[in-house]
Amino acid sequence: GENVEQHPSTLSVQEGDSAVIKCTYSDSASNYFPWYKQELGKRPQLIIDIRSNVGEKKDQRIAVTLNKTAKHFSLHITETQPEDSAVYFCAASTGTGGFKTIFGAGTRLFVKA
Amino acid sequence: GAGVSQTPSNKVTEKGKYVELRCDPISGHTALYWYRQSLGQGPEFLIYFQGTGAADDSGLPNDRFFAVRPEGSVSTLKIQRTERGDSAVYLCASSLSGANNEQFFGPGTRLTVL
């Protein structure tokens, strides 16, 4: 079945450094790749997304890249701040038939002040 | 405006009992998703509705789980003969349509099966 692998499971960086989280997906029909941030005890919230017809997208300190051939995509956070500390989830969704969204297992990001 | 709401926020039940979890999506959102999230894991897809119909229920773990959305708005996830392994946070999300739009999540229902 469909699967999304996410690495690393935990990431600790110094404030101001960059953080990179990588995901791979198995379903070649996937065409939408959102990233969610979930703070402790809160609901997941979308921070950025990318569609399969785009290779890269940037929003201020956050960027996402997509390599469809290799079936992997990455989240890049620059100039990290303590408030970036949270769990980040990647996901892959296919628009064929149903719009099933498969999430990765998450990356716990710690930004040390 | 109002976001996605879910009730109850917490549900404690005994093994073998029946439970219903409710989701109120954002008004005008035709797509509705149910997920289950265990501690330290990502949301696990259960079912997706487009309007009143279940467009994809392939994530429902077994026939004890069932969901309805009779009028294309509120949805209820029903679990029969609950088991301890059903304990998790059940998340609902809605989006404008199913065409890969942003999903807005509710706060979740924490289900504990004793």
Q: Are A103 and A90 in contact (CB under 8 A)?
A: yes
Asked if residue A92 has pLDDT above 60, the reply is yes
Asked if residue B56 has pLDDT above 90, the reply is no
- Looking at the complex, does the CB of residue A91 fall below 8 Å from at least one CB of chain B? yes
Could you give the CA distance from residue A15 to residue A89 in angstroms, rounded to a whole number?
A: 21
* pLDDT confidence tier of residue B2, bands split at 50, 70 and 90: confident
Asked if the Cβ–Cβ distance from B42 to A34 is below 8 Å, we say no
Asked if residue A96 has pLDDT above 60, the reply is no
Asked if the Cβ–Cβ distance from B98 to A34 is below 8 Å, we say no
> What pLDDT, in 10s, does the model give residues B69-85?
999 999 999 999 999 99
For chain A, count helices (H), then strands (E).
Answer: 0, 11
Q: Are B48 and B32 in contact (CB under 8 A)?
A: yes
> What pLDDT, in 10s, does the model give residues A7-37?
999 999 999 999 999 999 998 889 899 999 9
The SS3 assignment for A4 reads: strand
Identify residues of B whose CB sits under 8 angstroms from chain A CBs: 31, 33, 35, 40-45, 48, 50, 55-56, 58-59, 91, 98-100, 102-108
Asked if the Cβ–Cβ distance from B105 to A98 is below 8 Å, we say no
* Nearest residue to A106 via CA among A25, A50, A36: A36
Chain A (17-56) residues lying within 8 Å, Cβ to Cβ, of chain B: 31-32, 34, 42-46, 49, 51
Could you give the CA distance from residue A59 to residue A37 in angstroms, rounded to a whole number?
A: 15
Listing DSSP states for B71-95 in one string gives TSS-EEEEE-S--GGG-EEEEEEEE
> What pLDDT, in 10s, does the model give residues A55-87?
999 999 999 999 999 999 999 999 999 999 999
Could you give the CA distance from residue A12 to residue A14 in angstroms, rounded to a whole number?
A: 7
* pLDDT confidence tier of residue B100, bands split at 50, 70 and 90: low
Asked if residue B8 has pLDDT above 60, the reply is yes
Query: Average pLDDT, stretch B36-44?
Result: 94
Interface test with B, best of A43, A45, A48, A54 (most B CBs within 10 A): A43
Backbone angles phi, psi at B88, to 5 degrees: 180, 175
Sign for the CA dihedral angle at B57, A73, A56, A83 comes to positive
Could you give the CA distance from residue B89 to residue A109 in angstroms, rounded to a whole number?
A: 21
* pLDDT confidence tier of residue B1, bands split at 50, 70 and 90: low
* pLDDT confidence tier of residue B9, bands split at 50, 70 and 90: very high
Q: What is the per-residue pLDDT for A53?
A: 84
Q: What is the per-residue pLDDT for A100?
A: 83
* pLDDT confidence tier of residue B97, bands split at 50, 70 and 90: confident
Asked if residue A4 has pLDDT above 90, the reply is yes
Asked if residue A95 has pLDDT above 70, the reply is no
Residue A106: list chain B partners with CB under 8 A. 40-42
Name the residue with tokens 């997941």. A44
Residue A44: list chain B partners with CB under 8 A. 43, 91, 105
Q: What is the per-residue pLDDT for B68?
A: 96
* Strand pairing class (A10-14; A107-112): parallel
Mean pLDDT of chain B: 93
**What are the b/e assignments for A43-82, b being 16+ CB within 10 Å?**
bbebbbbbebeeeeeeeeebbbbbeeeebbbbbbbeebee
* pLDDT confidence tier of residue B67, bands split at 50, 70 and 90: very high
Distance from CA of A42 to the nearest CA of B (A): 7
* Strand pairing class (A107-112; A56-59): unpaired
CB pairs under 8 A between A and B: 66
Asked if the Cβ–Cβ distance from B48 to A100 is below 8 Å, we say yes
